[in-house]
Amino acid sequence: MDIQLLIAVTIGISVLLFLILRLKFQAFIALLITCIVVGVIAGMDPIAILDSVKNGMGGTLGFVATVVGLGALFGAILERSGGAQQLAQSMLQLFGVKKAHWAVMLTGFLVAIPVFFDVAFIILVPLIYALQKQTKKSLLLYAIPLLAGLAITHTFIPPTPGPIAVADILGADLGYVIIFGFLAGLPAAIIAGPILAKRLSKTMHIETPSDMVTTSEIPENAPSAVTILLIIAIPILLIVCNTVLGSPLFGEDTLPKWLTYAAGLLGHPFVALIIANIVAWYVLGINKGFSKEQLLDISTKSLYPAGVIILLTGAGGAFKQILIDTGAGEMIAKGLNTDFFPPIIFGFIVAAIIRILQGSATVAMITAAGITYPLLSETINGEAVLLFSQPQLAVLVIAIASGATVFSHVNDSGFWLVKQYLGLTEKETFRSWTVMTTLIALIGLVVSVLLWYLV
């Protein structure tokens, strides 16, 4: 290994953690500073360092900014229409009170596809308060399944920002990411949701906090659950259809050209989400009495949180580019025997370490993806050649996302959000929420490893 490059990477990651943990810098600027530090120590020319940052930012944001922005717009109208609450109530009616913990898990799983985790949790938490009041059972019996469903979809399934960012950095096909996200997410949701909740509720009886609301108001003209499910399914089905039709299952010239053209256009994430937005704006907005001014206000406000995620993701792309341009990424790749230490394990471990140290799952995903990317290709005749298939890259996205989910604790904002809304002590939050996130991560890793060798 080149000692100078090894020192550059080591100091760079140390600087990143110091800025975030000790000085409380925003992760966006911390990542940019880290890029410059790594470039300087590696001996890059100043102009080359800044060009790497610019190219990394631009290359990443061209895709991610569009998808995250469209996803935020899509989720906002679903939220404001009352569709999430309606879906939850319909699930409860379908499953019944005795199986309500399964109903809230499935609701969380579906709602978090278009809606950000924290927003979805705050929207749906009155539902679990009402259930606890009605049944007198531990609040955890309903809270843990809800949180598991929300966390898994938020982590594994596009168009949520984390998997979108990792997929873009690694060059993975979003259709495969969605398919494998469901394959890994469903068993994780079941085990870390209802099954874990039933066990925890026997040893930890938690009442609804007295200062929290216990009713969930649903607008009179809220859309039906079927309508919500169909609208959520639009972008997912279009993207997956494009992936399937473009896969080796269908050889060249076996499908009509108009069909492959239509699938390629409509199944691209940009177009799929634009279609979903147009349908949602009409069906959930105009058709439900929202004025054009109200829809404009809803959509404008939805982009504020998306802006932070977009900039953070761009900085992660810059970090990846610095590792490539300095040669540090190639050094890391050569220093690992991928037969005994495959990228899927490496990516999980790196994401888990960064997650535990600094708390943010998104930062952990993006940083781990940048460090793992150089393991995926080798230079042949001056050109980078990918060593792995698109399905394997998609599985790697899930493995990195799993690592970034592990052991949420006091440096994660989600830890305190859950503690506050459920009225838990720190110890109880560790025994419930932290155990749940770790279980999700481990199940995600196991499923990823199995898929890695199957695909």
Q: What is the mean pLDDT of residues 112-128?
A: 85
What is the secondary structure of 204-215 as a DSSP string? ---PPPTTS---
Q: What is the mean pLDDT of residues 270-282?
A: 93
The reply to whether the predicted model has a pTM over 0.85 is no
Residue among 286, 317, 315 at smallest CA distance from 299: 286
Q: What is the pLDDT of residue 206?
A: 94
Going by pLDDT thresholds of 50, 70 and 90, the confidence category of residue 209 is: confident
> Does the pLDDT value for residue 448 go beyond 80?
yes
Going by pLDDT thresholds of 50, 70 and 90, the confidence category of residue 330 is: low
* pLDDT > 70: percent of the chain: 93
Residue with the bigger pLDDT between 249 and 9: it is 9
* Pairwise CA distance, residues 273 & 409, whole Å: 34
Q: How many CB atoms within 10 Å of residue 16?
A: 25
Q: What is the pLDDT of residue 337?
A: 47
Q: How many CB atoms within 10 Å of residue 257?
A: 8
Q: What is the pLDDT of residue 37?
A: 94
Q: What is the pLDDT of residue 151?
A: 95
Q: What is the pLDDT of residue 358?
A: 74
* pLDDT > 90: percent of the chain: 41
pLDDT in tens, 351-403: 998 888 777 888 889 888 988 888 887 766 666 677 889 999 999 999 999 99
Q: What is the pLDDT of residue 221?
A: 81
Q: What is the pLDDT of residue 294?
A: 92
Q: What is the pLDDT of residue 378?
A: 72
Which neighbouring-strand residues pair with 386?
A: 377
Going by pLDDT thresholds of 50, 70 and 90, the confidence category of residue 13 is: confident
> Does the pLDDT value for residue 307 go beyond 90?
no
Going by pLDDT thresholds of 50, 70 and 90, the confidence category of residue 326 is: confident
Q: What is the pLDDT of residue 79?
A: 80
pLDDT in tens, 134-187: 899 999 999 999 999 999 998 899 888 889 989 998 999 999 999 999 999 999
Q: What is the pLDDT of residue 114?
A: 83
Tokens of residue 412, six digits? 């994660």
Residue among 181, 175, 165 at smallest CA distance from 372: 165
Instruction: Indicate the average pLDDT of the chain.
Output: 87
